[in-house]
Structure 1
Amino acid sequence: MTKPLVSIITVVLNNRQGIERTLKSIAAQKYVPIEYIIIDGGSTDGTQEIIGDYAALLHQYISEPDGGIYYAMNKGVALAHGSIVGLLNSGDHYEADAIEAVVNAYLDYPEGDIFHGMLRVFDQSGAFKSVIGNHSSFLSTGMIEHPACFVKRAVYEKHGGFNLNYKSSSDYDFMLRMKRLGVNFVFIEQILTNYYTGGISFQTRALLETLQIRKAFGLISPLKKMLLENIIKLRAFLKK
């Protein structure tokens, strides 16, 4: 049997301190073949020079100003040739057997469309915080672990990519859309990705967007959305 090609996309902008950790984790994967794509938003902090040191690892590399993280993700997905597509944030890194585990699930569950696993979480200093992993049923409450999600390319081709109306939480909107459309989720009960907090998911705007998305999908009432928005804004104000 021909082994499926897996496309991994990393979106980056000015992350000199974290990008090498990500690159090394792709190089360390036990599984082949992998197509690795980097979409750089025009970094000026030395990120491009580090990426250049790993040129042999790259199949496609674009560096130019773009419309933000989800615009860049959509661009990367459009370039992908793999049967399975993973999105690895700059600074995060896979376990060495992560892609191998995803491919095994892909072969064991041919009816699956989105394969997702567990996440080991670190703070920005590198201190371990927790291990998290949720089944797709959790989507009615919150987002599953997107850095540990792998989607069949055919799903993107059929249903489209990320909604650019959302700047911080479009991955949640995407997963809820897929759930509503009856896309099949397969949970892999092992750690796939190591994630470092501090990205856009933890910003106030992302939390507010998440509420907007939950309301749009009928998961919370307008009143509850308003109350939670006020709490989030108050907490943000008190942190200043």
Structure 2
Amino acid sequence: MKVSIITSCFNRERTIRGCIESVLGQDYPDIEYIVVDGASTDNSLAVIKEYEDRITHIVSEPDRGMYEAINKGIRMATGDIIGLVHSDDFLYSPNTISHIVERMCQTGADFLYGDGLFVTPGDTDKVVRNWIGGDYRLWKVRHGWLPLHPTCYIRREAIAKRGLYNETYKIAADSDFLFRYLLGGDLTVTYLHEYIVRMRMGGLSTDAAKRRQMWMEDIRMYRSHGMNPTVTKLEKMMWKVPQFLLAKFK
């Protein structure tokens, strides 16, 4: 079973090497690796090209943001399963993909998610949030719960049915994507109780203007799914509380 992994990148010369090496260091033999760079102006592309003999496809051209880049990668993907490893992140262990494939083969699931760790940018061993996904329940999704996006691995046939990321969202496209896949209750979903990814803290949510944009996009996104936007937004925030508490014990 082939797994397509997509990394989108823009000006991430400090982190892209670790991301790439975490994918290339997997013990699973059948990985199609696609790196989509948004015409970086730093040294990112030079770092990426150091690995060009081991990366299946490298694209470097201007785009309108991360979700357009991810959609480009999905359209190129030929794997049975598709997953993402963002340029600031890295897979948890060398056998992460092997365990994902084993679980999806055992269960026949369309959609798999797992656990993840948020770590500080300068010290990737210091855990800030410990995201334990927990078992999938449709009622949880209807009350704002979603799995951690970079832990999600989905069969390509399911993506063909449900569609790509909505590029009109600059921040909330991942949440919209997951709600579209999980609210219907007709996909087979499985939870792998293992860490799949380490994610560096930072990014869009740390900037005040972007936080406001995030709030507005979330409201629009919840309404589009027939949910009460304010209540669901608050419920989403409540689901995150245990992650910070669990981080103290990691």
* Shorter-chain TM-score range: 0.7 to 0.9
- Alignment partner, residue 43 of structure 1: 40
Deviates more, 1:172-181 or 1:58-67: 172-181
Matched, 1:141 2:144: yes
**What code does the residue aligned with 2:214 have?**
A
Whether contact under 8 Å (2:220, 2:229) holds in the other structure is no
Aligned-pair distance for 1:130?
2.9
- Alignment partner, residue 99 of structure 2: 101
CA distance in 1, matches of 2:195, 2:179: 23
Aligned-pair distance for 1:226?
10
**What code does the residue aligned with 1:164 have?**
E
Whether contact under 8 Å (2:4, 2:79) holds in the other structure is yes
* Residue number among 74, 78, 100 corresponding to 1:77 in the alignment: 74
- Alignment partner, residue 217 of structure 1: 225
- Alignment partner, residue 182 of structure 2: 179
Normalized against structure 1, the TM-score is what?
A: 0.86
Q: Deviations over 1:21-79 (max 9, x none)?
A: 10110121111110000000001100001001111221001000012111111110000
Q: Cα–Cα, structure 1 residues 101 and 31, in superposed 2: closer, same or farther, change >3 Å? A: same
- Alignment partner, residue 14 of structure 1: 11
What's the secondary structure of 1:166's corresponding residue? coil
List alignment gaps of at least 5 residues for structure 1: 229-240
CA distance in 1, matches of 2:37, 2:101: 27
Detail structure 1 runs of 4+ shifted over 6 Å in the superposition.
225-228
Count of residue pairs brought into register by the alignment: 223
CA distance in 2, matches of 1:146, 1:226: 17
Matched, 1:198 2:205: no
- Alignment partner, residue 33 of structure 1: 30
Q: Deviations over 1:93-137 (max 9, x none)?
A: 002111011101111011x11111100110222232132122443
CA distance in 2, matches of 1:206, 1:117: 24
> In the TM superposition, what are the counterparts of 1:59-138 in structure 2 within 5 Å?
59-95=56-92, 96-110=94-108, 112-126=109-123, 127-134=126-133, 135-137=135-137, 138=140
Normalized against structure 2, the TM-score is what?
A: 0.83
CA distance in 2, matches of 1:32, 1:97: 11
List alignment gaps of at least 5 residues for structure 2: 236-250
CA distance in 1, matches of 2:80, 2:24: 20
CA distance in 1, matches of 2:36, 2:89: 15
What's the secondary structure of 1:56's corresponding residue? coil
Q: Cα–Cα, structure 1 residues 48 and 165, in superposed 2: closer, same or farther, change >3 Å? A: same
Deviates more, 1:196-205 or 1:75-84: 196-205
**What code does the residue aligned with 2:129 have?**
S
CA distance in 2, matches of 1:129, 1:178: 28
Q: Cα–Cα, structure 1 residues 44 and 179, in superposed 2: closer, same or farther, change >3 Å? A: same
Root-mean-square deviation (Å): 2.0
Whether contact under 8 Å (1:169, 1:201) holds in the other structure is no
Whether contact under 8 Å (2:218, 2:229) holds in the other structure is no
Whether contact under 8 Å (1:215, 1:225) holds in the other structure is no
- Alignment partner, residue 234 of structure 1: none
Whether contact under 8 Å (1:113, 1:184) holds in the other structure is yes
What's the secondary structure of 2:14's corresponding residue? helix
